[in-house]
Structure formats: C-alpha cells, structure tokens
Amino acid sequence: MTTPSHSLPFNAVKKINSVIAVLIALATLLFISSCSTAPAAQTAPPPPSLPVQTVATSSVTTYQEYPASIEGAVNVEIRPQVSGALDRVFVDEGAAVSAGQPLFKINDQPYRAALNNALANLHAAEGAALNSQLEIDKLTPLVQNKVVSDFQLKTAVATNQIAKANIEQAKANVSTAQINLGYTIIKAPVAGYIGRLLKKQGSLVSPQDVEALTQLSDVHNVHVYFSLGEKDFVGFKEEYPGSTLKDKLNRLPAVSLLLADNSEYNVKGKIDMIDGQFDKTTGAITVRATFPNGAGLLRSGNTGKIRLSLVHDNTLTVPQSATLEMQDKIFVFALADSNKVKKVPITIDGKDGDNYVVKDGLKAGDQIVLSGMDHLQEGAKIAPQKATDKVAKN
C-alpha cells in the first residue's frame, strides 16, 4: 500500500515567502532607525574671542610721590635776652611783620637805672683821670728842678693810667647797660609771620625760660623736606642725568607739591639740597626742595607730598587692567604661536596714568590680551581680536 505524499500548494509557499520578505524588511528598517537615534558625537566649543593689543614703544612720564613736611626758609624762636615783666605785646598771633618791627617790650626801669649808674661811674672815672693828669702836670717841673723826687711823679703817672683804665671799664659798663636797655624792646630779626603767643602782658620772662615767647617764620620761600630710602636714592642717581650729584641737582626738572587735600600747589619748586648722610635709624636720606611762596599760602608745619617726574624715552607701556598680580608679581597673557597664550611676568618701572611702564618681560611687537584673563589658562587657544577693531564695532 502506497502512502500518499503531503506537499504544500504552490500558492501557500508563495505567501510564506512574501511574509518572510516583509519581516526581513521590517527588521532592516528597525535596525536603521535604531542607528539613526544614537547620540551624536560631542564637538569642541570654539575658542573665546578676546581683544589683543600690540605693544609699542613711546615716550612717557612717570611720577613718584613722597610724604613731605613744609618749613619756612627761616624759623626763629623769639626769646628775651634780659629778665623782667612783659610790659607790652605789639603784635597778634599770625600777624605778618617786617624785619626790625617791635614785637614785645619788657619793663625797662631797672635797665635805665643801671645805665644811669654806669654813666655816673664813667663821669667819676673821667674826673679821677683829670685829677691824676693835673697831679702829673704839677710834679713834672718840680722833678725837673729836683725839688721833689721822681718817685712822686712815677706814682702820679701810674695813678693816671689806672684812672684811664677805669674810664675804659666805665665805658664798657655803659655800653652793656645800653645794650640791656635795648634788649627790653624785642624786635623781629626777619620778616615773616608770628606764631602763637605763649606769654601774655604782665608775665615774667627770662632768657632761661623753657618756652620761647613765640616763633617767627619767614615763608616768602619755603623748604619742603622729604626722604628717599636707599633703593630710591640709588634709582634717583641712576635715572637722572649728570656725572656728579651737584650736576644732577642742577639738571633736575621742577618738582610739584601736592597739598594735604591732594590739590597741586600752583608754583613749581626746585630740589636744591641732599643731606650728607643717611639716617641710621630710618635708613633714609633727607632731600630739600624750595618753593616760592609770595602769596603766603604755605606756612611752617604744613604737610604734603613731593611729586618727582621722570621721562622715559622709547619705553613700553601696558594697560594696568591687562595685568594680573600674583604673589607680588605682575603678569600679562601674551599671544604665542597658533593663537595660544602664555603667562609672562613683567617688571614695572612706574605708572603713567592707567598704564604700567614695563622695564623687562616684553618687547616691542608682542601682543597681549586686554581682558578676560581671569578665565585663561597657560597654553589656552583664543580667537584674537584687535582692540581697535573692537572699538570700531562698538
């Protein structure tokens, strides 16, 4: 008996193949879809666009300021030269006086009496001298005629010499009494301004008093004193022209005086003295500048600042805002190859307004970053933008 064969109809096989083809197509589409939804690879952000500036040479003037004290060209303590009661005070505090003007008067009665006594002694000495001369005139012919011995004549001559010496002594006493009487009027030795009056009318005064009657300052010209440390003094000698210190003083430019309110005095001064030695305690040397003071605006005891100027030819400057200060050093970010930046230390030689004067660390033609340095790192890449271009766009 033959077993019948079981074969699928042709149409069924065809349908199965179609289903399989559809499934394969769907699987392919799902695979492609899954690949397209995978996250895209991260791309690096563009380098920051920062302004840069080319460093160029120029001529600038820098300033150094030093605390200063002001004194009159002549400061005199007015003291009595004789003792007595203060009879009169002819001036007021702060008054302007001329040389020779009376300031005080001491009771002169004791000194007038002393002068009268000295004059009386002088007249007595003159009378004694005259009397001794008469004695000589009387004895001279008697001695010549040998009526009396020459011993008496010699005694008369000696007495006459003593009388003449007494006259000279009496004249000296008269001069002393006249001088002391003159001292009862205390006059201004120089023109200037009166300080505080520490003794009033009726006070007893003496040359041994600890305090002076007052102070008199001649402030037609004032001396302004300031100090330079050793380092500043060495720089001072190197920076200003001249072969000797005297030559340098003669060539120094005029200096300015800043008053206590930071306003500038309207007249320039001249440095005319440098102390002969350093102060061992402070390690500084004193320098003096003289200023005209015709209007009397400056007084002894004022304080201020001396401003010294120094011209730098063919020097480099960088904006102070383009620098970073770290551990007492100042840096800038300079543009290197491939627009990468590098941190460069610079040495400062002063300030010109908002700019630093660069002594070392940069050269003409270098490019520096002007802003945005806080977020920069060594070797970072930037898109440099010329500072002039940035200003033009703004």
111-152, pLDDT tens digit by residue?
Answer: 999 999 999 999 999 999 999 999 889 888 888 888 888 888
- What is the reported pLDDT for 23? 67
The reply to whether 232 and 355 lie within a common domain is: no
- What is the reported pLDDT for 5? 46
Say if residue 35's pLDDT is above 60.
Answer: no
CATH of the domain at 354: 2.40.420.20
Specify the number of domains making up the chain: 4
The reply to whether 114 and 151 lie within a common domain is: yes
The reply to whether 335 and 360 lie within a common domain is: yes
The reply to whether 226 and 341 lie within a common domain is: no
CA 169 – CA 132 distance, rounded (Å): 17
What are 72-105's pLDDT values in tens digits? 888 899 999 999 999 999 999 989 899 999 999 9
The reply to whether 276 and 372 lie within a common domain is: no
Report yes or no: 319 and 308 within 8 Å, Cβ to Cβ: no
Last residue of some domain: 296, 312, 328? 312
CATH of the domain at 292: 2.40.30.170
The reply to whether 225 and 308 lie within a common domain is: yes
> Which carries the bigger pLDDT value, residue 375 or residue 216?
216
- Whether residue 275 lies inside any domain: the answer is yes
Centre a 10 Å sphere on the Cβ of residue 193 and count the other Cβ atoms it contains.
18
Q: Which residue, among 55, 49, 50, has the nearest Cα to 346 in the 3D structure? A: 55
Report yes or no: 188 and 97 within 8 Å, Cβ to Cβ: yes
pTM for this model (two decimals): 0.63
The reply to whether 374 and 318 lie within a common domain is: yes
> Which carries the bigger pLDDT value, residue 227 or residue 7?
227
How many percent of the chain have pLDDT more than 70?
87
Give the range among 43-47, 59-63, 155-159 with minimum mean pLDDT: 43-47
C-alpha dist (Å) from residue 262 to 23, 71, 192, 228: 93, 19, 26, 20
- Whether residue 43 lies inside any domain: the answer is no
Last residue of some domain: 278, 312, 346? 312
- Whether residue 196 lies inside any domain: the answer is yes
- What is the reported pLDDT for 64? 84
Burial class (CB in 10 A: 0-12, 13-18, 19+), 229: middle
The reply to whether 341 and 373 lie within a common domain is: yes
The reply to whether 87 and 204 lie within a common domain is: yes
Report yes or no: 307 and 257 within 8 Å, Cβ to Cβ: yes
Range of the domain at 256: 64-72+221-312
The per-residue pLDDT of the chain, averaged, comes to: 85
The reply to whether 282 and 200 lie within a common domain is: no
Measured in degrees and rounded to the nearest 5, phi and psi for residue 94 equal: 80, 0
Report yes or no: 62 and 349 within 8 Å, Cβ to Cβ: yes
CATH of the domain at 190: 2.40.50.100
- What is the reported pLDDT for 337? 85
